[in-house]
Amino acid sequence: MDRPTWAPQGIDLEKASAARIYDFFLGGSHNFEVDRVAGRKAVEILPDLPKIAQANRAFIRDAVRQAAAAGVTQFLDIGSGVPTFGNVHEVSLEADPGCRVVYVDHDPVAVAHSQALLSDVPQASVVEADLLRPKEILARVEADGLLDLNRPVALLLVAVMHFIPESAEPYGLVAELRDALAPGSLLVLSHATQDGRPEEAARIERLYSGVGTPFTMRTREQVERFFEGFVPEPGVLMLGEWGDNAHAAGDDPARFSGYVGVGRKP
């Protein structure tokens, strides 16, 4: 297979990536055929997946605007993925020019394109690190110098925690990040669920596992556990119940298979 000119050296063109499959759902162009094959199979199982991805982006934009309006002007976006329209730095800087954003991802394609996108944006940066190693993330963010962890930060974990299996202690990872944040910080989180569509969810989990990307759907109660140590505002909702997504989902919020929430650290 010919390597695209935009693909960093060392990338395995035959191995699918969750970030690039998500880029495919959003109609992006920075994905490989192996990602598109997996993405098409996923859409066959759950035709609403592109709309779910778009609804997730709408949730991010709304949550970022709310955070900035509430005076939280620092954003740490972990699992940020391949840059697309309406990125966190674009939305936040429009809301408040004083905002600062650090993106974190472990996918080299996502990092490379973020670096290119941010080359002339001093208010934002990207670091390559893995959510499985919170201490490494925090050290790199501190070394980057753009964010002050002694002040409130909005921690974005959007459509990423479902890629962390139970064996990796996902709640402990979030708690470690939470404990490093100042009071007044926010957790902005979305997560896929099997609630309402158990058969399709099980097939999606098997598909992702088959391409080497573990995928763990969780119930409302399990998603609510991520907010321990935060006060949810207003609470954990279905993705199709949040903001403008309620109109897009129509009279069936469960068609957007996921939960979302924003919580504040006291």
pLDDT in tens, 154-202: 999 999 999 999 999 999 999 999 999 999 999 999 999 999 888 998 9
Query: What is the distance between the alpha carbons of residues 226 and 248, in angstroms, rounded to a whole number?
Result: 26
Write out pLDDT tens, residues 92-140.
999 999 999 999 999 887 888 788 889 899 999 999 999 999 999 999 9
Give the pLDDT of residue 61.
93
- The percentage of residues in the chain with a pLDDT greater than 70, rounded to a whole number, is 91
How many CB atoms are located within 10 Å of the residue 47 CB? Answer: 12
> Average pLDDT in the 230-247 region?
84
Give the pLDDT of residue 158.
95
pTM, to two decimals: 0.90
Give the pLDDT of residue 110.
82
**What's the DSSP call for residue 14?**
T
- Better-scored residue on pLDDT, 160 or 9: 160
Query: What is the distance between the alpha carbons of residues 100 and 93, in angstroms, rounded to a whole number?
Result: 8
Q: Look up residue 123 and give its amino acid.
A: Q
Straight-line distance from the first to the last Cα atom of the chain, in angstroms, rounded to the nearest whole number: 52
| Strand (E) or helix (H) holding 18 | helix 18-25
- Write down all domains in the chain, each with its CATH number in brackets: 18-264 (3.40.50.150)
